[in-house]
Amino acid sequence: MAIPLYPEILVAISLCFLFLCHLRWNKSRTITNWPVVGMLPGLLQNASNVHEYVTWLLKQNGGTFKFKGPWFTNMTFMVTSDPMNINHMLSKNFSNYTKGQKFQEIFDVLGDGIFNSDSDSWTYQRKLLHTMLKDNKFKLFFEQFVKGKVEKSLVPVLDHISSFGIEVDLQDIFQRFTFDSACLVVLGFDPNCLSIEFPDVSYAKSFDQLEECLLYRHIVPERWWKLQRRLQIGSEKKLSHAWKVFDEFVYECISTKREEVTLKKEELKFNLLTAIVMEEQEGEMSTTITKSDKFLRDTATNLLAAGRDSISAGLTWLFWLLATHPSVEAKILEEIKEHLLDNGKSKDLNIDKLSKLVYLHGAVCESLRLFPPIPFEHKCSVQPDILPSGHSMRPNTTILYSLYSMGRMESIWGEDCLDFKPERWITEFGGIVHVPSFKFIAFNAGARTCLGKDIAFIQMKIIATAIIWKYHVRVVEDHPVSPSISVVLHMKHGLKVRISKRYA
């Protein structure tokens, strides 16, 4: 067993030596292809601001470049922010760019769920979820559910915080809210993470640990993290523990749901897990795989990840931008008064009324453009290909496209690309500007466009409207704000704020 590991030990020793040299002698933002260790030292040196570093490299290289990793590690891949390349991969030549084995190994915690699957498995799951999530009845159910959760959980907590004038991490509040919401919609179970007591819920915390460990797998050689996994040390030991805690929770929910559906002790309330189990028991499922607890576990995990992390991250960045751009907040307030108030009283909020909040919609889109919840995505080429940028792709080549970088490209958004301007999403006639999904990539594009896009906008607008109308949010002075180094673009230090009621 010692012989296969020898190259990894050699690379590790060389990497440590050259990395220390790099830190000592090279402080500039450059990308050097070193002997033996390739470009990895530059990446590690800039790991704390990796998204900005990759953005800078992409700008210096015309939007696409090849990253060369250490020898023996199979860590060479293409990186792009070119919309034409992305349109090519996600739409025009979709069949040639799959998730690939490497993606599935890195994100093994997602199992065979929709985010991790290709071919027939992906097609089946997408069809199944499309039928449920795109149904108008589900959208109406989801709208009423979110409004109820805001009134029963979010508002009481914010009232409590404002009455005592204490500092609070708004990111933590949003993560608790969206985890509760996702669990209710997917599993039919409310963990009550968001309450005045701010309970410490182990299986909710395990989500954060999983994300941190999964990013680690992106920035070290594959054999290195696999060795750690085999020996159960370091980051992989933490991942295994978090995975176990989360799986125990999900499988317990599955067992309870199967019992409820079988015995039918009471009228079942709607949730996605119940709907899938009922289809399974009624003979609608097509294979034995989809009838297994493993399929339910993978499906639930993927949906929980989408429902919790993307929405909470999106809301956190939105409220930071609003707090630092009071003129935008003022315009949204005026829009709320115009469309949601009648003689000083609030109207019943619904999807139709939400659609009239055009400026709020622009602010949400602008926030997602600058701070996409998923900052980068993977693809893997199946056959040889040439990208529109002229770069050649060999079979089994990994390509990363940076959603974060795309929002910061003058070639895509103009010279004011770094500015927060909801107006860029509004036509001169007051309508919403349509931007091709391969440019505004927050919800992916092509055949893999996010199925939850509509309900994500519904949830974000309902929450944003409730908070903006009722409360004034101020970021604590000198609070550091920067993206976390994670597969989800959370804030590294949270978002410390003070909240006061807008109207006494």
Binding site residue list for heme = 450
Torsion angle in degrees (nearest 10) through CA of 404, 407, 412, 415: -130
For the chain, first and last CA: distance in Å? 71
Indicate the burial class of 163 (C-beta count within 10 angstroms; 0-12, 13-18, 19 or more).
exposed
Q: Token digits for 255?
A: 């067992």
> Residue 11: which of 74, 61, 65 has the closest Cα?
74
Positive or negative: CA dihedral 473, 478, 479, 481: positive
DSSP letters, 261-328, are: HHH--SPPPP-HHHHHHHHHHTT---SSGGGSHHHHHHHHHHHHHIIIIIHHHHHHHHHHHHHH-HHH
Partners of residue 376 on adjacent β-strands: 402
- Euclidean distance between CA atoms 305 and 313, whole angstroms: 12
Contact assessment for residue 456 and residue 396, using Cβ atoms and an 8 Å cutoff: no
Q: Counting every residue, how long is the chain?
A: 504
Contact assessment for residue 31 and residue 42, using Cβ atoms and an 8 Å cutoff: yes
- Sequence ranges of the binding site: 450
Contact assessment for residue 156 and residue 486, using Cβ atoms and an 8 Å cutoff: no
> Residue 453: which of 306, 349, 354 has the closest Cα?
306
Residue 271 CA from chain centroid, whole number: 22
